[in-house]
Structure 1
Amino acid sequence: MSTQKVALVTGAARGIGLATAQSFAAQGWNVLMLDRDHAELARVVADVPRATALDCDISDPDAVAASFTALDQLDCLVNNAGVAQFGPIEACDFALWRSVMATNLDGTFLCSQAALPLLKASRGNIVNIASISGLRASTLRVAYGTSKAAVIQLTKQQAAELGEYGVRANCVCPGPVRTKLAMAVHSQEIIDAYHDAIPLNRYGSEAEIAAAITFLASESASYITGQVLAADGGFDSTGVGLPALRKDTP
C-alpha cells in the first residue's frame, strides 16, 4: 500500500464535490473523482493535481462494483453525489421518490459497501454528505429530506459497526450553499429569507463545506466517529424560531 493517501469523492464534477477534491489535492492526497457526468468530469479533472476520473452512476450496483473492484487503495470515501427534486408532497409520485432514493441513499450505501474491504485494510474513513434538510423538515423536500435523514442514520450504523476495524464514519450536513445551481434558482426573496433565518446571515461557500469534510477525513479527527456536523451558519440552531423574535424587543 502506498504511503500517499487516497480519497474517492462521488459527485466530484462540480459544486461541493469538486471543491472537496480540490481541498484533498491541496493537502497532498491522491484523489479519485467519480461522477456520472462524463463530459464535465473530463473537463475539470485536469485542473486537480493527482486526480483520476471515474465515470460511474452510483445508483447502478454493477457500475459501482466495477469501479471499486479496480481500486487497490482507499483511505477516505466521501459520499457526496446526490440529486434534488423539490415540489409539493402530493406531487411526489413513487417514480420521483425512487429516483431520489436511488442516488442519495442507495448510491451512498452501494459505494460504502464496495469500499469496505479497502477501508478496513487502510483503517480509513467514510464521510457522508447529508443536508440540513435531513436534520429539520422543510417544505417541498419530502423525498430529498427523507433520503438525507436516512443517510444520517446510515452514518451512525456504519460508525457503530465499523469502529472495531478502525474505520470511522461521520456525516456533514450543509446548510444553504452559494453554488452556481442555487444562485440560478433562488430568487432574491428566497436569498433574503435564508439570510434572515441563518445566524451568520449568509450562505456558505463550497470551500467552507469542503474544509469540514477534509477535517473529518484527517488524522486531526482520529477520535471522531458517528458524528453529524451541520455546516450551516447556525441554521439548525434556530429551530423554528422566527427571525423577528431573535432581537431584543421593548
Structure 2
Amino acid sequence: MEFADKVVLMTGAGSGLGRAASLGFAREGASLCLLGCSLDKLQETARQIGDAGGQCVELGFDLADPQGCADAIAGAIAAFGQLDVLCNIAADVMFHPLSAITAEEWHHTIASNLSGPFFLIQAAMPYLVESHGNIMSVASTAGFKGQAYLVPYSASKFGLVGMTLSLAMEMMDSPVRINVLSPGPMRTEMTQGMTFPDFADPKLLARYTGMRPACPPEDVVEPLLFLASDRARRVHGACWAVDGGIMAG
C-alpha cells in the first residue's frame, strides 16, 4: 500500500489512462479526487474504486477556467485535508489540416491541455510543498516531435513539457518533485474506433504511429505510479517516454 494516507487529484479520471491510473493509485491505498468532464464516467470510476475498497470523491469543475482549477484544489483540501500528488492527464485531441483549424478549436485545446494543468499546479503548489508531494503531467510523443495534422495538440504538449522543465528549475530548492510521462499510442476510449481522415497522408502518419501496436493504458500506469512514489525521490524534472520505441528513431 505504497500510497496509504496519500491524497491524489486525478484529471481525466472518467476514462482511459485517467481511470486506469485512478484504480492503480486506489489499489495502493490512495484517496482519490476525481476530475473529468463527464459526471457519468466519473461515477463509474468511483464505483470501481469503491468496489475495490478505495475512497474517492468526484469534483466537477471547469479546468479550462482558472477559478475552476482553484475551486478543484480547494475541493480536494476540503474533502481530505491534504494533497500529495497532482496528476494532469486530461487532454483533448483532434485531427485537422492547418487551414481547417478554427480559433475556437485552437483556444479550447490549449485551455484544456496546457492552461488547465498550469492553473491547477499554481493553486496546488502551497499544499504540495507542505506535503512534500509531487506533480505528474502526461504529455505525448507529440510533445517532443512534430506530428502532422495535430498542430494545436502538439503545441499544447510541447508547452506542457516546457512548463514542467521550467517549474522543475524554479522549484529546485523546494521539496516538490515535478515530472512528465510521455506515452505513445494507447487503446483507450478516445482512440477505439478512431480512423484517420481522408485528407491525411499515410506516409506522414507512419512517422509517429510507431512500429509496435498500441498498448492498454494499464501498461503506462506502472511507470506513473513509480514516478509518483517515494521510490523515485531523486527523479525531478524528468521526461519519461513510455511509447514502445517511437522516440528511439
TM band (smaller chain): 0.7 to 0.9
The alignment covers a number of residue pairs equal to 233
Q: How does 1:86-235 map to 2 (within 5 A)?
A: 86-186=95-195, 198-199=210-211, 201-235=212-246
Classify the secondary structure of the residue corresponding to 2:154.
helix
Percent of paired sites with the same residue: 31
* Contact 1:195 1:203 (C-alpha < 8 Å) held by counterparts: no
* Contact 1:198 1:234 (C-alpha < 8 Å) held by counterparts: yes
| Deviations 1:16-65 (CA, angstroms, capped at 9, x unpaired) | 00001011011111111111211221222121121221112210222221
Q: Distance in 2 between matches of 1:153 and 1:230?
A: 15
Deviation at residue 163 of structure 1 after TM alignment:
2.6
- Residue 45 (structure 2) pairs with residue 44 (structure 1): yes
Give the AA of the match of 1:140: Y
Match of 2:72 in 1: 67
Q: After alignment, is 65-74 or 19-28 more displaced? A: 65-74
The TM-score with structure 2 as length reference comes to: 0.88
Give the counterpart of 2:61 among 51, 56, 60: 56
Deviation at residue 196 of structure 1 after TM alignment:
10
Deviation at residue 114 of structure 1 after TM alignment:
0.8
- Residue 1 (structure 2) pairs with residue 32 (structure 1): no
| Deviations 1:132-183 (CA, angstroms, capped at 9, x unpaired) | 1111111110000010000000110111111311100000111011113212
With over 3 angstroms needed to count, the CA separation of the structure-2 counterparts of 1:3 and 1:139, relative to structure 1, is closer
User: Any gaps of 5 or more consecutive residues in structure 1?
Assistant: 239-250
Q: After alignment, is 87-96 or 20-29 more displaced? A: 87-96
Deviation at residue 225 of structure 1 after TM alignment:
0.6
Deviation at residue 96 of structure 1 after TM alignment:
1.3
* Contact 2:85 2:228 (C-alpha < 8 Å) held by counterparts: yes
Match of 1:84 in 2: 93
The TM-score with structure 1 as length reference comes to: 0.87
* Contact 1:178 1:203 (C-alpha < 8 Å) held by counterparts: yes
With over 3 angstroms needed to count, the CA separation of the structure-2 counterparts of 1:237 and 1:4, relative to structure 1, is same
Give the AA of the match of 1:47: Q
- Find the structure with the greater CA-based Rg: 1
Classify the secondary structure of the residue corresponding to 2:145.
coil
| Deviations 1:48-94 (CA, angstroms, capped at 9, x unpaired) | 12122111221022222122123121111001111112110121122
